[in-house]
Amino acid sequence: MSITIKTAPEIERMREAGRLASEVLAFLTAHIQPGITTLDIDRLGAECMARQGTKSATVGYQPPGYPPYPGHLCTSVNHVVCHGIPNDKPLKKGDILNVDVTVITHDGWYGDNSRMYIIGEGTIAGKRLCQLTSDAMWKGIAQVKPGATLGDIGHAIQTFAEGHNLSVVREYCGHGIGQKFHEDPQVLHYGRPGTGMKLQEGMVFTIEPMLNLGKRDVKEQGRDGWTIVTKDRSLSAQWELMLAVTPTGYDILTWSDGSPPPPAFISGIRT
């Protein structure tokens, strides 16, 4: 496993990329209402990126064995776990939606984040899942400091999620990031404390748990090569932030005006 340690100036460039990625989500917030389609959301996101001078990391993205991804962002509705392709179906009251935005700046740095949106008033189950998934992400983030391990992050997320009768998707994980979309390390959202790679100052990665109301099993939907759904069609939610390891803890890099505030058990983050 080859980890790219970022210098302080490089982290500042990533902070700018992260801020811009977060601003796309903040811009979309006012538009995500009942009746809008995820294809509309994709178009609005692309327009926002064009105004920023960034470009989408996902449109045309084609890892080995995959078709080119067609959207400027990922839009995952209800039982879609991740990689939902924007389409022309209107969102309705009670839906939950994850929008995942990754931008590339003019100098080649990536900013990656995602957020849950509740369409209309929402259901009790949907709102609970979205909130607990955000809290689970922050439980993992709170473990980050030099000398901690990747297993500490995964264990904190897993124990919190399972303590609330939610399941953790295991096929997808957080990842290192920089001037490449996906770098080492892989950041699992389950695990045992004290295991795995030790964290060190200058590492930059995402934490992005996907939690299900039902069982953790997932499958590919249809033949588009991308859309992943829960096998039991239970609701799924995901939140994602990008952060750097500092000498004493962590620094959230995907932050902007309009970012949802951290939970009460988190204090002292740089915004």
**Per DSSP, what are the bridge partners of residue 183?**
176
Residues 74-107 pLDDT 10s? 999 999 999 999 999 999 999 999 999 999 999 9
Distance CA 138, CA 133 (A): 9
pLDDT surpassing 50 at residue 271: no
Per-residue pLDDT at 108: 98
pTM over 0.95: yes
Residues 185-243 pLDDT 10s? 999 999 999 999 999 999 999 999 999 999 999 999 988 999 999 999 999 999 999 99
240: Cβ–Cβ under 8 A, 6 or more apart, which residues? 100, 112, 113, 114, 115, 137, 174, 206, 207, 208, 254
**CA 64 centroid distance within chain:** 22
pLDDT surpassing 80 at residue 139: yes
Provide the angle, in degrees to the nearest 10, between the axes of the packed helices 38-52 and 8-29.
Answer: 140
User: What would the mean pLDDT of 135-141 be, rounded to a whole number?
Assistant: 98
Strand 55-56 with 74-77, pairing: unpaired
Whether 61 contacts 89, CB under 8 Å: no
Whether 23 contacts 52, CB under 8 Å: yes
Distance CA 24, CA 61 (A): 19
Helix (H) or strand (E) holding 158: helix 150-163
Place of tokens 């995602």: 114
CATH match for 8-251 among 3.30.420.10, 3.40.50.1100, 3.40.1260.10, 3.90.230.10: 3.90.230.10
Query: What tokens appear for 196 in the block?
Result: 């795995």
Residues 162-195 pLDDT 10s? 999 999 999 999 999 999 999 999 999 999 999 9
Q: Is 188 helix (H, G, I), strand (E, B) or coil?
A: coil
Within 13 Å of residue 215, how many CA atoms lie on the same side as its CB? 6
